[in-house]
Structure 1
Amino acid sequence: MTSRSILELIDRAHTESWKELDLSEQELTEVPPEIGRLTQLERLDLHSNQVTEIPAVITQLTNLKRLVLHSNQITVIPDAITQLTNLINLDLRDNQITVIPDTIAQLTDLRLLTLRDNQITEIPVEIAQLTNLTALDFS
């Protein structure tokens, strides 16, 4: 899919108030900033791209429940991700992440956190504050 067709898809998703958007396996190196217009999204799938960072524009997706970013090149989980207060499932496996920010404890609705196949050497004690968490995958 070309960048133009991706932008057209995002525009269509905005116009039609899509709840889900799958842009996986598109060889994206960054998340298109236009994605911030999709405030109605509940599920965003960007797995198997070459995304290197989670951009601040993601925080505009306040209805997001599931964020799938596995199999990218992400190195940092930004503190801003805590603004996604409705997030239930966060999948960041198979990236280059080395540190889990303690602010992740602010995602109080989080039920599934998948971080396996990264370079994480320490799990912050604040993870214990995620009382709704039913699955935590660091294997």
Structure 2
Amino acid sequence: MKVLRFVLFLFSATLAVRAQVTDQELLKPDPSDWLTYSGTYNSQRHSLLKQITPQNVGSLQAKWVYQLVGQQHVQAVPVVADGVMYVSQYNRVDAIDARTGSIIWQYQREPVSTAAQRGTAVHGNKVFVTTTDSRLI
């Protein structure tokens, strides 16, 4: 039991280094973050960033690709906070550098599942994800 507590403490400490999302940021997020399911609470699904224009959209190219483990389809929208993209599946969440596609950390809870999952939440210094046995990690 002490080992489990220690592992959970280390996991929480790792999350605290990257995610620092406040209530105010959830209500009025930085345009470079995507903190909720549809980007904002009014579900606009529109980014205020200005780098992509009608003039340059045709020349865009993929910078990186990330393969989800065992997933045949995804129903979750990645959450981006402070340059870190959190991608979730049931019993799993991956933190990825949104600029490079490099894996920062991964968390896998047993059993491995290929069931569809509907997303991750970030608040304060915590990342929240659900599991197939109805737990919140």
- With structure 1 as the length reference, what TM-score do the two structures score? 0.23
More helix per residue: 1
Higher-Rg structure is 2
Q: Which has the higher contact order (CA 8 A, sep 6+)?
A: 2
More strand per residue: 2
